[in-house]
């Protein structure tokens, strides 16, 4: 029984890897299938077979994750080792998989090639630099600029200088980087949990072995893998009172993607309570806080500036942080509300367009997000444990109220769900929502979030699995996990 999740999940990811070449984010020109004469696997009956394999693999991976969770929740002291073994086995088949669930890796290569060829991805779209890489970039992004930081462009430039226009080789190098980032998360999460009094096995299971994490960070090769990996390493430094290292690592992550910055203000609280106490005078606490915040800000700016200078990039990414507003899906609250409001207002004004309420709601939502981030920073200030919870809350606020949200954005939040002791109600919600999100995206990257029958079935599956997983055992000789304390 103890090995069933490992075997089940490994078979699942092996099927995903095989199916990815015909049902994933397949190439428009060339690619592995073309090179070995199996192009038929990407269309017609071949694509149908590939999609069947991929979806069967996703279902098996979810089942394996839930079974593993049942064992973790039994509070075995060796749970984290079992999770680590399963996680390793599940990820290995995806090493050779084609990109799945998104075409973003092709955009990463294109943006790196633009910097290599003398173009500015912060002011020019990919279409300015025609070539084989452009053919693989989604049509939605061929005329848009990039919101990512200078480190992202520097990495892309380095890869494209190595591989030239060989897209397959470039994808393989990005796969290596995504696995390194994922490994950093897997190494860091149980160490953070142990330092803060939480259960390492539970934190690793819900925060890293989670299908959303595996499929989108390793399978999708998003730069969130490297960004969250760097932030996680920084937080390991923070819980071990190495605050300069923590801020430096998170600053490097900021140079990759700006959302890493949400963690920095909370590191200031951690440092404050290490160097002073609540019994200290207000003047002393204010002085120490000011010193830490000033030095932290200076170090962050210095690190980002150094990377910007070395990469020969620019500060243009600061103007692009808000990202592109083309993406519409209900993972972002403004889009969800705009859909409901528009349908209602059309009863009174048939000429109303979706973009009218969407524009208003996105503006209002950004204001709420700003207030929510400040509130999270202030209310979760009393200890290192509270500060870590505050980081998770801040990410939740940011992604919920952001104008555009995609499933891999939540990697920053998911990785921190159980690194502190959490109330009982948090884990079922985190588990159920993870299952729903996992089932909501096809291998090609198209989502089913507006397909009501599909989403209803996905929700029912998530409810059934979550209910079974967290159903109290009638008899148990185990001691309840301290991480589940209310």
pLDDT, tens digit, for every residue of 52-104? 999 999 999 999 999 999 989 886 667 778 899 999 999 999 999 999 998 88
CA 20-21-26 angle, 5° bins: 95
Give 327-344 as a DSSP string.
Answer: ---TTSHHHHHHHHHHHH
Specify whether the backbone of 261 is left (phi greater than 0), alpha (psi in -120 to 50) or beta: alpha
Contact 54, 24 (CB under 8 A): yes
- 424-482 pLDDT per residue, tens: 889 999 999 999 999 999 888 888 888 899 999 999 999 999 999 998 775 544 444 44
Give the integer Cα–Cα distance in Å for 311 and 153: 8
Determine if residue 303 is left, alpha or beta; phi over 0 gives left, psi from -120 to 50 gives alpha, anything else beta. alpha
Distance CA 296, CA 283 (A): 20
Closest CA to 343 of 358, 327, 326, 365: 358
Rounded to two decimals, the pTM is 0.90
Please choose, from the candidates 480, 441, 440, the residue with its C-alpha nearest in 3D space to the C-alpha of residue 459.
440
Q: Which residue has the tokens 């430096």?
A: 248
How much is the pLDDT for 327? 76
Which pLDDT band, with edges at 50, 70 and 90, does 268 fall under?
very high
Q: What is the largest CA-CA distance in the chain?
A: 74
Query: What's the rounded Cα separation, in Å, for the pair 389 and 49?
Result: 44
- Quote the CA–CA distance of 463 and 434 in Å, as a whole number: 11
- The predicted structure's pLDDT at residue 325: 67
- Which of 53-62, 157-166, 263-272, 307-316 is predicted with the least confidence, judged by mean pLDDT? 307-316
Contacts for 78 with CB less than 8 Å, ≥ 6 apart: 201
Backbone φ, ψ for residue 442 (5° rounding): -80, 165
| DSSP letter for each residue of 298-329 | HHHHHHHHHHHHHTT--SGGGGGTT--S----
211: nearest Cα among 478, 15, 436: 436
Distances (CA, A) of 314 to 107, 123, 252, 340, 479: 19, 11, 15, 40, 55
Cα dihedral: 136, 138, 223, 170 (round 10) = 0
Angle at 93 between CA 436 and CA 257, to 5 degrees: 60
How far apart CA 32 and CA 18 sit, in angstroms, is 12
From residue 343, give the alpha-carbon distance in Å to each of 253, 279, 340, 471: 40, 56, 5, 39
What is d(CA 318, CA 305) in angstroms, rounded to the nearest whole number? 12
Query: Which of 227, 232, 225 lies closest to 188 in space, CA to CA?
Result: 232
Summarize pLDDT for 92-141 with one digit per residue, the tens.
Answer: 999 999 999 988 899 999 999 888 888 888 888 888 888 888 888 887 77
| For residue 485, pLDDT beyond 50 | no
3-state helix, strand, coil in the chain (%, to 5): 70, 0, 30
Q: What percent of the chain has pLDDT over 90?
A: 57
């Amino acid at each position: 029984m103890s090995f069933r999740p490992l075997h089940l999940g490994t078979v699942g990811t092996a099927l995903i890897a095989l199916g990815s070449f015909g049902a994933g984010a397949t190439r428009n020109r060339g690619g592995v299938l073309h090179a070995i004469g199996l192009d038929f696997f990407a269309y017609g009956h071949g694509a149908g077979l590939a999609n069947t394999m991929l979806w069967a693999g996703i279902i098996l991976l979810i089942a394996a994750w839930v079974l593993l969770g049942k064992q973790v929740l039994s509070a075995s002291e060796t749970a984290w080792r079992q999770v680590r073994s399963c996680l390793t086995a599940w990820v290995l088949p995806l090493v050779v998989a084609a990109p799945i669930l998104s075409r973003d890796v092709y955009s990463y290569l294109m943006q790196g090639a633009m910097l290599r060829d003398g173009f500015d991805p912060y002011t020019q779209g990919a279409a300015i630099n025609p070539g084989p890489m452009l053919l693989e970039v989604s049509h939605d992004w061929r005329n848009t600029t990039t919101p990512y930081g200078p480190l992202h462009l520097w990495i892309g430039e380095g890869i494209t200088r190595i591989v030239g226009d060989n897209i397959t080789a470039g994808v393989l190098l990005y796969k290596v980087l995504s696995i390194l980032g994922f490994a950093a998360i897997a190494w860091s999460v149980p160490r953070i949990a142990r330092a803060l009094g939480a259960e390492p096995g539970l934190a690793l299971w819900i925060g890293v072995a989670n299908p959303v994490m595996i499929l989108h960070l390793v399978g999708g090769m998003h730069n969130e893998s490297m960004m969250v990996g760097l932030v996680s390493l920084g937080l390991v430094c923070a819980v071990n009172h190495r605050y300069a290292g923590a801020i430096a690592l998170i600053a490097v992550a900021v140079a990759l993607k700006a959302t890493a910055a949400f963690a920095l203000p909370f590191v200031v609280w951690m440092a404050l309570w290490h160097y002073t106490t609540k019994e200290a005078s207000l003047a002393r606490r204010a002085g120490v806080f000011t010193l830490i915040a000033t030095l932290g800000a200076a170090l962050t700016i210095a690190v980002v500036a150094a990377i910007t200078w070395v990469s020969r990039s620019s500060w243009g990414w600061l103007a692009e942080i808000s990202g592109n507003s083309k993406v519409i899906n209900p993972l972002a609250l403004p889009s969800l509300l705009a859909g409901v409001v528009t349908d209602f207002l059309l009863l009174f004004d048939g000429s109303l367009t979706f973009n009218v309420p969407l524009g208003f709601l996105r503006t209002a939502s950004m204001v709420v997000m700003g207030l929510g981030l400040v509130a999270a920073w202030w209310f979760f200030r009393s200890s290192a444990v509270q500060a870590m919870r505050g980081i998770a809350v801040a990410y939740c606020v940011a992604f919920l109220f952001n104008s555009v949200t995609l499933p891999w954005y939540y990697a920053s939040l998911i990785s921190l769900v159980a690194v502190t002791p959490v109330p009982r109600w948090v884990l079922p919600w985190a588990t159920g929502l993870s299952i729903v999100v996992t089932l909501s995206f096809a291998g090609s990257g198209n989502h089913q979030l507006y397909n009501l029958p599909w989403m209803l079935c996905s929700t029912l599956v998530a409810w059934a699995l979550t209910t079974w997983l967290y159903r109290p055992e009638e008899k148990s000789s185990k001691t309840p996990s301290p991480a589940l304390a209310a």
